[in-house]
Amino acid sequence: MNNAQQQKIEKTIGELYDDSRLDKLKMLKGAAKSVFRPIQPSDFEEVYLSISSEQGKHLKELIVEKDLKKIVEFGTSFGISTLYLAQGVLETGGNIVTTELIESKAKKAVQNFQKAGVDHLIQVKVGDAMDNLKDHDEEIDLLLLDGWKDLYLPLFRLLEHNFHKDTYIYVDNANMPDSKVFLRTVAGDNKYHFQSMFGGTVVLITLKAAH
């Protein structure tokens, strides 16, 4: 049963990667809008900006291997990363809360989750993650940070009380300037362990006591 479902998710992911092949061109168009003002998420309304398939497969394996159930994602976009997370929680019996600022992107993501047959596993919160996660009152087994990098630190602080000794925090685009500030600040707490992956583009944070 899960096999057929996993294949359905894989098929949807494949179609979305196909559809994202013009991302580089669309990114340039988006970036051009910000010549005279700071860059905004809406400049990338049509751009996937997704994690790689290698990252996605690793995330799925991490979820299954560590039996992670309660997943929170910052930055849904069109849902490629969320679908990999869904492949994981399908095996562990978990669920996902994901957040997307741009309404049109969130709507398409929901359609993609329906198409893949996993919408029942995913709650999509539309709007600023800082608002829609402020009352999050469940423990978090895995937090995926993949939204705008200047929010990594405040969002981490907002959700820190939901972490437990075996929580994983997956930091995408860890080599970007705002991410580096975030990682340096959190390292100052002396509570966390940092594992650099994928050539430094990803950092996996765990609590020191646990590992």
Ligand X SMILES: C[S@@+](CC[C@H](N)C(=O)[O-])C[C@H]1O[C@@H](n2cnc3c(N)ncnc32)[C@H](O)[C@@H]1O
Which residues are near ligand X by CB under 6 A? 41, 48-51, 75, 77, 80-81, 99-102, 105, 128-129, 146-148, 151
Among residues 188, 191, 195, which one has the least CA distance to residue 209?
Answer: 191
The C-alpha atoms of residue 85 and residue 95 are separated, in whole angstroms, by 9
CB of 24 to ligand X, least distance (A): 14
CB of 148 to ligand X, least distance (A): 4
Residue pair 139/44 in contact (Cβ under 8 Å)? The answer is no
The residue among 23 and 207 lying less far from ligand X, judged by its C-beta, is: 23
CB of 8 to ligand X, least distance (A): 18
Query: How far is residue 142 from each of residues 28, 58, 98, 145, 208, measured CA to CA in Å?
Result: 32, 13, 12, 10, 16
The residue among 81 and 179 lying less far from ligand X, judged by its C-beta, is: 81
The C-alpha atoms of residue 72 and residue 95 are separated, in whole angstroms, by 9
Q: Residue 74: beta bridge partners?
A: 99, 145
CB of 167 to ligand X, least distance (A): 19
Taking residue 59's Cβ as centre, other Cβ atoms within 10 Å add up to 25
The residue among 22 and 209 lying less far from ligand X, judged by its C-beta, is: 22
Residue pair 76/84 in contact (Cβ under 8 Å)? The answer is no
The residue among 20 and 207 lying less far from ligand X, judged by its C-beta, is: 20
The residue among 12 and 190 lying less far from ligand X, judged by its C-beta, is: 12
CB of 83 to ligand X, least distance (A): 8
